[in-house]
Amino acid sequence: MGRSEANSDAALAARLALIAAAVLFSSGGWFIKALTQLGVSAVGIVVYRSAFAALCLLPLIRGRRRPRWGDWAVAVLLFAALLGLFVASTQGTSAANAIWLQYTAPIYVALLGPAILREPRRAGDLGTLALAILGIAVLFLGSPGGSDRGALAMGAASGLFFGLYLIWLRRLRYADPIAVTALNNAGCALLVLPLLPASDRALLVRAVTGDDAAIPATTLLVAMGAVQIAVPYALMSTGLRRVPSTEASLLMLLEPLLNPVWVWLTIGERPAAATLAGASLILLALVLRYTLFAERPGAALPGKEQSR
């Protein structure tokens, strides 16, 4: 096999790794909905999911450069906020609403990044921001109100905190992405642990002692940490070595596209017309940002490699 063929095969394998990572990441909505049906609280999902993800990833950080404690502490606070808001939003509204509201984060980066990081504003930033805001407005206008609107507000806040988190991660570029992800999940689990309800606190003990009622939820939580976080991060780290950042960003958009599909196929939650319209506007804003108004070639994928 010639060098060009080997490079072509390696590039294909890298793209497939990114696609597989996006598909696994997209299972988050289904995990949250299924665990909610089993009675696990939003806090319980955040704590156990983060703890099991950390247990899977921490063995991999040996020899990798870690973030400084001060930088890490701020990252953990932002990470816990965005994750808690996203889980609560997914519990209270449709999975499609929650994931697309969280995916407005790169637009907030475009809005706030120049002020916080003193980076030059790029052409098209205000246009993509306007499209994203219009998409968010459509989601809210199509809401039936009540608790759903509150869940939408939490989803929008999750997107904002995700954007702030991505901006902060630029300070952590000196650290290895896997190390950052592992330590952020560990810190998140420890930070939120004091808020864990008593019913969720006893979940693992009940499962270990053979309580049949606790085993399904515990199994899903372990799987969520491993399958929805640890494995896709390993795949994504492999794929990003050979795939250009713009292409990688577009491939990772499979996550918000597939997230509501799995929930619809397994639980029967069908996205509303307003959700489809609002999500389409947000998707258009993201595609424009990653293509026509993309950063210079070779720029990093906007935080996704360290985000979860």
Q: Supply the pLDDT for residue 299.
A: 42
Q: What 8-state DSSP symbol labels residue 244? A: -
Q: Supply the pLDDT for residue 171.
A: 84
Helix 42-57 × helix 69-92 angle, to 10°: 130
Q: With contact defined as beta carbons under 8 Å apart, do 242 and 14 qualify?
A: yes
Q: Give the separation between CA 177 and CA 301, rounded to whole angstroms.
A: 12
Q: Supply the pLDDT for residue 122.
A: 67
High-pLDDT (> 90) share of the chain, %: 59
Q: Supply the pLDDT for residue 295.
A: 57
Q: Give the separation between CA 214 and CA 284, rounded to whole angstroms.
A: 42
Which portions of the chain are predicted below pLDDT 70? 1-7, 119, 121-123, 293-308
Q: Supply the pLDDT for residue 119.
A: 67
Q: Give the separation between CA 307 and CA 254, rounded to whole angstroms.
A: 16
Q: Supply the pLDDT for residue 53.
A: 96
